[in-house]
């Protein structure tokens, strides 16, 4: 019988139980660290929005982008938004400036027609990754879904 006075068997079973608990706690610790590291490893992202004569949709687009839930490990927004009004003849620059005054995540820039909007916007970006949204280009049917995939999954479109 295993428990019938055999001290060596008891010690061996206790040792195995302690070893199992240590191995289990190590696995749990590694899983927690891996999850914490993956949250820390999210890159700081600059979202560069180029708009020209988009007064009817620019505010909605920028407000949606400002509401993204892309946070660092401390729960702070882990992105910036740079909006460039590229030679607009409507109220786009004024709308962008007003929104920039309301929210510190948004940087606004108005460039004259013919000036390099992309280059000037990129010069303001501080992110490790830059996501470019040109409202004048209709390449993506669902830009909101695309931005969300880029931020959360690291997708490249």
The per-residue pLDDT for range 32-81, each reduced to its tens digit, is 777 665 555 789 999 999 999 999 999 999 999 999 999 988 889 999 99
Q: Are residues 33 and 67 in the same domain?
A: no
Cα separation, 136 vs 32, in Å, equals 44
Q: What does the pLDDT read at residue 39? A: 54
What is the structure's pLDDT at 119?
92
Whether 67 and 23 share a structural domain: no
Q: What are phi and psi of 133, to 5 degrees?
A: -120, 110
Q: Are residues 97 and 129 in the same domain?
A: yes
d(CA 68, CA 123): 23
pLDDT of 139 over the 60 cut:
no
- H helix intervals, 41-57: none
Q: Are residues 33 and 71 in the same domain?
A: no
The residue written with tokens 């302690």 in the block is 18
**Cα separation of the two ends of the chain:** 67
- What CATH number has the domain bearing residue 97? 3.90.550.10
Same domain, 52 and 107: yes
Considering the entire predicted model, what is its pTM?
A: 0.66
Q: Give the residue numbers spanning the domain of 131.
A: 45-153
Does 5 have pLDDT greater than 70? Answer: no
Residues 2 and 77 in one domain: no
Distance (Å, rounded) from C-alpha 106 to C-alpha 98?
Answer: 10
- pLDDT of 115 higher than 50: yes
Q: Are residues 29 and 67 in the same domain?
A: no
Work out the angle between the directed axes of helices 92-102 and 58-66 (0-180°, nearest 10): 20
| CA 55/CA 93 separation, integer angstroms | 8
């Amino acid at each position: 019988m295993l428990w019938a006075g055999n001290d060596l068997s008891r010690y061996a079973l206790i040792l195995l139980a302690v070893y199992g608990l240590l191995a289990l706690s190590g696995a749990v610790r590694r899983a927690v660290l891996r999850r914490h590291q993956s949250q820390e490893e999210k890159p700081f992202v600059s979202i560069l929005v180029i708009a020209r004569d988009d007064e009817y949709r620019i505010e909605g687009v920028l407000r949606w982008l400002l509401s993204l839930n892309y946070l660092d490990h401390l729960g702070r927004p882990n992105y910036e938004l740079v909006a460039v009004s590229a030679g607009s003849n409507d109220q786009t620059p004024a709308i962008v400036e007003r929104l920039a005054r309301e929210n510190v995540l948004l940087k606004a820039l108005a460039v004259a027609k013919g000036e390099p909007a992309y280059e000037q916007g990129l010069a303001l970006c501080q992110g490790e990754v830059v996501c470019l949204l040109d409202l004048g280009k209709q390449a993506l049917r669902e830009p909101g879904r695309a931005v969300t995939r880029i931020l959360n999954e690291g997708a490249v479109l």
